Amino acid sequence: MWLRISGACGILTPIVAIICIFLAIYFAPGFSWMENALSDLGVMPGVTAALFNYGLVVGGILGFVFATSLFGVMRFFDVFSADGKPHMLFYRGESGALFFSLACLALVAIGVFPENIRYMHGLVSVAFFVALFLALIRLGIAFFQVRQKSWAVFTLLLGLVAVVPWLLLFVIRYVSGVAIPELISAVAGGLWTTVLGYTMLRMASRPKMP
């Protein structure tokens, strides 16, 4: 049952967070993708700040619930061999699951400490993106360790998608704000949680082996 709940939370995490972000942008006509940071939405007047901050808090909580089962899934990943029988392979991806859990807690903290609380907000914002990148890279490597090449490539590619916009920003400064790299990184992480959340639901629905 908890695996089902966690899987559902993995699917809901990016849906809730991204919907709230775009609703906040809708109610902030002065927002610019080229000049603003997404965190600017958290201090704008009216419903904008509430949508953004509460959306991140709820999304982070859902993501953390997802991460509670991520440890178990990463420890024993269900693999089907050529004979169609399931085999449980030991899988050293716990550090990746820990990084992902920290990223979710940092996401909650971004909503709790908006941009006007400068020191804390800057700290948790950096922590979120760094922890997310480290989680995807470490988990991708772990999938290679158990010969899950499709999962490994998928996870590592999303890790690269999450970090490349930031590297380009430091090199060529293609925008004056950071909203675009922030969104790209968030969508990369959200896509991974959605796919793995769906996989968790499928794993939970399988009959138990005698």
Q: pTM for the complete prediction? A: 0.88
Distance, in Å, from the CA atom of 45 to the CA atom of 8, rounded to the nearest integer, reads 33
For residue 208, what pLDDT is reported? Answer: 54
Contact 11, 194 (CB under 8 A): yes
For residues 12 and 30, give the distance between their C-alpha atoms in angstroms, rounded to a whole number: 29
Query: What's the token pair of residue 137?
Result: 């890279």
In tens digits, the chain (210 residues) has pLDDT values of 888 999 999 999 999 999 999 999 999 988 999 999 999 999 998 899 999 999 999 999 999 999 988 877 766 554 554 455 555 444 567 788 899 999 999 999 999 999 999 889 999 999 999 999 999 999 998 888 777 788 889 999 999 999 999 999 999 988 999 999 999 999 999 999 999 999 888 877 765 544
> Please, is 206 exposed, middle or buried when counting C-beta atoms within 10 Å of its C-beta (0-12, 13-18, 19+)?
exposed
How would you write the chain as a 3-class SS string?
CHHHHHHHHHHHHHHHHHHHHHHHHHCCCCCCCCCCCHHHHHHCCCHHHHHHHHHHHHHHHHHHHHHHHHHHHHHEEEEECCCCCEEEEECCCHHHHHHHHHHHHHHHHHHHCCCCCHHHHHHHHHHHHHHHHHHHHHHHHHHHHCCCHHHHHHHHHHHHHHHHHHHHHHHHCCCCCCHHHHHHHHHHHHHHHHHHHHHHHHHHHCCCCC
For residue 12, the model assigns a pLDDT of: 96
- pLDDT for position 201: 87
Domain boundaries, the chain: 2-205
Phi/psi region, residue 147 (left: phi>0; alpha: psi -120 to 50; beta: rest), is left
Nearest to 107 by CA among 150, 163, 60, 142: 60
